[in-house]
Amino acid sequence: MRDGRFRMADVDPDSTPGLKKRKKARKEMEAAHAKLFDLQERLFAENKRSILVVVQAMDTGGKDGTITHVMGHLNPQGVHITTFKQPTPEEKRHGFLWRIRRNLPEPGVIGIFNRSQYEDVLIARVHDLAKPPVIERRYKQINDFEKQVVRSGTKIIKFCLHISYDEQRQRLLDRLDDPDKHWKFHETDIDERAFWDDYMSAYSIAITNCSTDWAPWYVIPANDKAYRDWAVSKIVSETLDEMNPKYPRPKLNIPAIRKRLKD
């Protein structure tokens, strides 16, 4: 970050900061799954606070894969996943944060946003879907909204999965080579590649404006899928650890209950 501004170009998508050996990632993931499960159970039992995990990426960036490999081992009862697509007619009748607010996690739940409120400052900027002054106001609206969410008891962590232009090309080709993945391929993905630099600029601006103490952005080099999953798992686990959720301690007359069970 130079001059207080974050630049996506400063992050190498092939890098693996914090991880010396790739084999270590998969090994540590196994331990992380057990730890995350325990922490999630405590969060769910405590039923007072929640976590919101925001996942953003370019097409083929690994949003679905990250959610599957990191969160797929948790108790689904305590996980709520929302995928935000093009706004519906009803959603368009409201402010851009309306649909976001309606899907915030309840106490005890880990909420996951596959895309999010940031679509309204990313795609909107790249494709001129809103006037520049409107987009500029949205950054402050998002920051104020996220601060309010955090004050209400929901911890927010935001991940930008950063892949390279060449890696995206290869992943699109891989989808064409696998008939089972043809359903995920859209020719519009090729059209969007023409705006790659514009998206990188839009992400840089959004992260510069909206990475705050209360809702930080983490830009994860994501060309290496194993590293991507390891890094996200580590950050989610550390965040839950810092929250240190506690099992409730209800007052129970244990001897009396044991006696009743024996009768």
Record the pTM: 0.93
Helical packing angle, 132-151 and 196-210, nearest 10°: 50
* CATH of range 8-262; options 3.40.50.300, 3.40.50.150, 1.10.3720.10, 3.30.1150.10: 3.40.50.300
Percent of the chain with pLDDT over 70: 98
- The domain limits of the chain are 8-262
Half-sphere exposure of 99 (CA within 13 A, CB side): 21
Element housing 94 (H / E): none
Residue 49 pLDDT > 70, yes or no?
yes
Q: pLDDT of 127-159, one tens digit each?
A: 999 999 999 999 999 999 999 999 999 999 999
* Burial (CB count <10 Å: 0-12, 13-18, 19+), residue 176: exposed
Specify which residues 56 forms β-bridges with: 160
DSSP string covering 53-80, please? EEEEESTTSSHHHHHHHHHTTS-GGGEE
For residue 241, which phi and psi values (nearest 5 degrees)? -60, -45
